[in-house]
Amino acid sequence: MMHLMTLALVAAQTTASAQTGVTRAAPATAKGEPATFDLAGFRLGMSEEEVDQVIRTRGLTVRRSSRATTFEDTVRGLVNVRGGRLEMHGGSVLDTVDLDDGKGGKVMLRMLGWPVGARVRSVAFLPPAGTEPAAWRSLLIERFGAPGRDSDTTNSEGVHLTWCGKATCSGEGAEFRLTADVNALGGQIVLSQPEGTAQMLGELVEDAAARRTTGKPAF
């Protein structure tokens, strides 16, 4: 029975981790669906290669970047901590990258290292000054569709809008989200995966390490 429960858990995690916006990018933007949004040229779930292509195509400047341990070596390291003796491969995947767009804006990407490689987990765009709140509201709604009705605040100080794929976006970030807090001085627009996505990856690492520790290879 326990073996069947483990298989069911792995199947559920694999299905969840393979969804659009997690380990693969959407081919096009669907209004009202943040998992598909394109922010500054980047989409959630993009691979390291796709990120590099956007950087080259848009002529963005990399200001700083960092790399992280691969999923495979993370699992092997955990097995070794528990008494295993697995050789580390020594590879790495993209973890963070901060970019300038050449127009006064900045883009910050954060990645997660899945079994299939690094994938974009969040995109933050810090726009330059110069766009009034009312204009920001029109531009964003035209591009992404109607935001959650409880998150639409616009006044002389700025605009706050949130898209979460639902009519209302109150509560914790359990959904894909795009949140915009912008004004004439700049601000920020952030596209992110559900808060539990990193935890789901941690569970995959834990499960893979546990099965290798007991002599049942995960991959």
- Give 117-141 pLDDT, tens digit per residue: 999 999 999 999 999 999 999 999 9
> What pTM, to 2 d.p., does this model score?
0.87
Of residues 11 and 129, more confidence is placed in: 129
Contact between residue 162 and residue 182 where contact means Cβ atoms under 8 Å apart: no
Res. 15: pLDDT tops 60: no
Contact between residue 99 and residue 109 where contact means Cβ atoms under 8 Å apart: yes
pLDDT tens readout for residues 68-123: 999 999 999 888 888 888 888 888 999 999 999 999 999 999 999 999 999 999 99
How many other CB atoms are found less than 10 A from the CB of residue 107? Answer: 23
- Amino acid 13: pLDDT: 46
Lowest mean pLDDT across 6-20, 52-66, 76-90:
6-20
- Amino acid 214: pLDDT: 63
Contact between residue 111 and residue 118 where contact means Cβ atoms under 8 Å apart: yes
- 76-80, 104-108, 173-177, 197-201: range with highest mean pLDDT: 104-108
Q: State the pLDDT confidence band at 1, using cuts at 50, 70 and 90.
A: very low
Contact between residue 162 and residue 179 where contact means Cβ atoms under 8 Å apart: yes
Contact between residue 172 and residue 164 where contact means Cβ atoms under 8 Å apart: no
- Amino acid 26: pLDDT: 97
- Average pLDDT over all residues of the chain: 88
Contact between residue 120 and residue 107 where contact means Cβ atoms under 8 Å apart: no
Res. 219: pLDDT tops 50: no
Res. 156: pLDDT tops 90: no
